[in-house]
Amino acid sequence: MTRHFAPMIVILGLMLSLSDKAFGQVGDSTLPLDVGSDHMENLDSEHRTLLVGNVDIVQGDSRLMADHVNIFYSESETGGRGDIERIIATGSVRYFSPLQNARGDHGVYDIESDSISLTGDVVITQCENVITTNFFSTNLTTGDSVFGETNDGQRVRAVLFPQEQTENSDDEEPEC
């Protein structure tokens, strides 16, 4: 029994410890990872792990929730699990952190491109600022982001509040 859970625990631990950016900076990778779901499947033959039903991933003060989460990984040179390639969350995808919250219907974190996309009924908040759209994509390396898809007839709406300026405000995280 333990043999079947050990790879699952390893892959879930790797999911957020690959970098501080994993899962859009889900949490502090030095802290324990708490993963819960109604059902878990380790599908080695398909190079993926599936979490189904009330998926709740918590690390520190950050949290990712969804109906389903698929974690895809490569095959290592020795035939075992390799690196995580992408993570796909579907159904009521929600991300919470002290400064930022996001929700959508479908989210993808692609490790190779270091990018995150969120589609569906997307709402992103940071403090009082709110952006609503049907598509959001960001490159975690460059910081380049896209809100909305070109020529799809859907509008992007942003309500942005001025940030109070303080000394060294360029180097500090915004306070809410």
DSSP-assigned letters across all residues of 70-132? EEEEEEPTTSSEEEEEEEEEEEEEEEE-SSEEEEEEEEEEETTTTEEEEEEEEEEEETTEEEE
What pLDDT, on the 0 to 100 scale, is given for residue 81? 76
In CATH terms, the superfamily for domain 2-159 is Lipopolysaccharide (LPS) transport protein A like domain (2.60.450.10)
User: Which residues face 139 on adjacent strands?
Assistant: 115
Going by pLDDT thresholds of 50, 70 and 90, the confidence category of residue 167 is low
- The SS3 call for residue 1 is coil
Average pLDDT, the chain: 79
CA distances to 11, 15, 22, 71, 122 from 46, rounded to whole Å, are 14, 17, 22, 11, 30
**pLDDT tens per residue across span 108-160:** 988 889 888 999 999 999 889 999 999 999 888 898 999 998 778 889 999 99
pTM: 0.74
Q: Is pLDDT above 90 for 106?
A: yes
> HSE-up of 156 (CA within 13 Å, CB side)?
13
Contact 102, 26 (CB under 8 A): no
What pLDDT, on the 0 to 100 scale, is given for residue 20? 35
Instruction: Please give the helix or strand (H or E) that residue 2 lies within, else none.
Output: helix 2-17
User: Which residues face 159 on adjacent strands?
Assistant: 130
**pLDDT tens per residue across span 81-104:** 778 788 899 999 998 888 889 999
Q: Is pLDDT above 50 for 39?
A: yes
What pLDDT, on the 0 to 100 scale, is given for residue 53? 97
CA distances to 87, 112, 141 from 22, rounded to whole Å, are 9, 11, 11
Strands 62-75 and 100-110: unpaired
